Amino acid sequence: MQLSLHLTFAGQCEAAFEFYQRTLGGADLLLFRYADSPMAEKVPPAWREKIVHANLTVGDRVLMGADVLPDTHERPQGFFAFLTCRDAAEAERVFGALADGGTIQMAPQKTFWSPCFGVLVDRFSIPWEITCEADAAMKEER
């Protein structure tokens, strides 16, 4: 069994996934448009170039997404995309990139469980928690 995250957007899925690919070092970005799917006739003509399914490999996981019609889209709530980075420098870099144009809820800082942890909502309204694994010194403190 494997759990994946599927994000929904109100028309910005392609921009979001291209941004996530650059920012997170993702691989194998796949974008499928409504126009090329059996759904083509069920969406407004202006919506047919939007994304019916996106797939991006990040590390050993797959991030998925889609554009949903604006009248059915709801702003994400009740969860965070949780990303663990190799070290504090990488966590700071990723946090800064995701925060650009978004809203910082907790600036990156040392916590009792991580040398760098921060919380934000990115420019695409996706909530993120960014962390890095505790270093040896932190593990000894516990």
* Cα distance between residue 123 and residue 15, in whole Å: 10
Examine the domain organization and report whether 63 and 94 are in the same domain.
no
* Percent helix, strand and coil across the chain, each to the nearest 5: 25, 35, 35
Residues of the chain with pLDDT under 70: 135-142
Number of domains in the chain: 2
DSSP character at residue 133: P
Q: What is the pLDDT of residue 47?
A: 92
Examine the domain organization and report whether 92 and 120 are in the same domain.
yes
- Domain span including residue 132: 81-141
Kindly state whether residue 26 falls inside one of the protein's structural domains: yes
> What's the pTM value of the predicted model, to 2 decimals?
0.90
Q: What is the pLDDT of residue 68?
A: 93
Q: What is the pLDDT of residue 135?
A: 67
Kindly state whether residue 43 falls inside one of the protein's structural domains: yes
CATH no. for residue 60?
Answer: 3.10.180.10
Could you report the per-residue pLDDT of 16-37, keeping only the tens digit for each?
Answer: 999 999 999 999 999 999 999 9
- CA distances (Å), 25 to each of 56, 59, 60, 68, 136, in order? 10, 8, 12, 25, 26
